[in-house]
Structure 1
Amino acid sequence: MTDNRWKPNVTVAAIIEKAGRFLLVEEETADGLMLNTPAGHLDAGESPAEGCAREALEETAHPFTPTALIGIYMARTRKGSQDVTYMRFAFAGELGEREEGRALDHGIVRTLWMTPGEIRASQARHRSPLLLKCVEDYMTGQRFPLSLVHVDSSVHS
C-alpha cells in the first residue's frame, strides 16, 4: 500500500542580529543567487535547535547556540509540477567567532550583514517567503523558551 499522506518539509533557521544588522547567506539556486537566513532541512536524529546550530555552522562558519524560539512558520511553494510546503522553526541565539579555514556549505557563495531596510528592499531575491516575517518577529521581541519544543529521547536513539 502506498502512503499518500501529506508531509511538510521541516526546516530550521537562525535569525542572527548584531548591531541592527542580520546575518544572511547568498546562495546559488535554480533561480539564481538568492538570499536567506542560515537555514536548512532538519536531519534525522536531531532536535530543531540542534539542526539550527548545525545549519548555521555549515552555512556561515560561525558556531551558533540557539537560546529562544522565535516562531514556527509555514509556507507553500509551487513551481511547475512541484508543490512543497515547508514548516520552519526559527531560532534566535548567540553567534560565536568565525572558524577560520572552515569552508561554507555547498552552494553558499558568501555571508553578509543586512539592515532590516535592506532585507525588505531585497524581497525579490529571498529564497524563502518566510525570511522577512521571521526577522520582523525577532525585531518585535517575539521569543519563546526552547522548552516549547519537546524532543522525546526516541529522536536521538
Structure 2
Amino acid sequence: MHKPHVTVAAIVKNKQQFLLVKERDKFTKRICYNQPAGHLEEKETLAQAASRELLEETGLSLKPSGFLGVYNLHAANGVHYLRFCFLFETTSETAVLEPKDSDIISANWHSYEQIKDLPLRSHLVLKCIQDSLNKAPLSLDTIYDD
C-alpha cells in the first residue's frame, strides 16, 4: 500500500529575508539548504509540527501566521512527500539562531536573490518562497485538526 510521507515546512520571513537551514542531504550526502522542515509526529497538529520543527532546527519559538499550501513531491530519492507549508513572520532581527537538531549545520537569513544561487534540498524550497511572495496565505482554520 502506498503511503506518502507527511511533512511540514516553516517559511519564515523577516522583512525581505528568509530563514533557511544548512544541512547534509541524507540521500545525496551533499550540503544543501532547506526551510526548517520535518515529519509530522503522532498526535500533533500540522501547525504544531511546523512550530516544533522550527524550534528544533533554529531555536526560534514562533506560531504560524498563515497556511501557504500543500505541495506534492515525488522526490529523486523515490519517496513521495506531501509537504504542508506554514508562514511565520518575525520582526526580531537579533534573535539568536541555535539549532538543537544535530543534523542542522546552521540557520541563517538569506535574501530571495541569494537563495536562487544556493544548492537547495529540492525545488520546493524556492517554490514555497516564491508562493509566499506572490500568494496571500490562507487562514490557519483552513486545516481542520481533530
Normalization by structure 2: what TM-score?
0.89
The equivalent residue for 1:55 is 53
C-alpha distance 7-138 of structure 1, shift in aligned 2 (>3 A): same
Relative to its length, the structure with more strand (as a share) is: 1
**Equivalent residue for 2:114?**
118
Structure 2: 5+ residue stretches without partners: none
Q: Partner of 1:23 in structure 2?
A: 19
Determine the C-alpha separation between the residues in 2 that align with 1:77 and 1:132: 15
CA shift for structure 1 position 28: 2.0
Aligned with residue 102 of structure 2, among 106, 126, 140: 106
CA RMSD of aligned residues (A): 1.8
In structure 1, distance between residues paired with 2:11 and 2:17: 10
Counterparts of residues 1-20 of structure 1 (less than 5 Å): 5-20=1-16
In structure 2, the partner of 1:148 is: 142
Which range moved further: 129-138 or 23-32? 23-32
Contact 2:14–2:89 (8 Å) recurs in 1: no
Query: Cα deviations across residues 10-41 of structure 1 (Å, max 9, x unaligned)?
Result: 11011011120100000122322110001111
The Cα shift of 1:99 comes to 6.5
Correspondence list, 1:23-42, <5 A: 23-30=19-26, 31-42=29-40
> Which amino acid letter does the alignment assign opposite residue 86 of structure 2?
F
Give the Cα separation in 2 of the matches to 1:110 and 1:126.
Answer: 14
Distance 1:62 1:138 in 2: 19
Could you tell me the TM-score, scaled by structure 1's length? 0.83
Q: Which residue of structure 2 lines up, in the alignment, with residue 88 of structure 1? A: 83
Work out which of the two has the higher radius of gyration on C-alpha atoms and give 1 or 2.
1
Q: Is the 8 A contact 1:65 1:95 kept in 2?
A: no
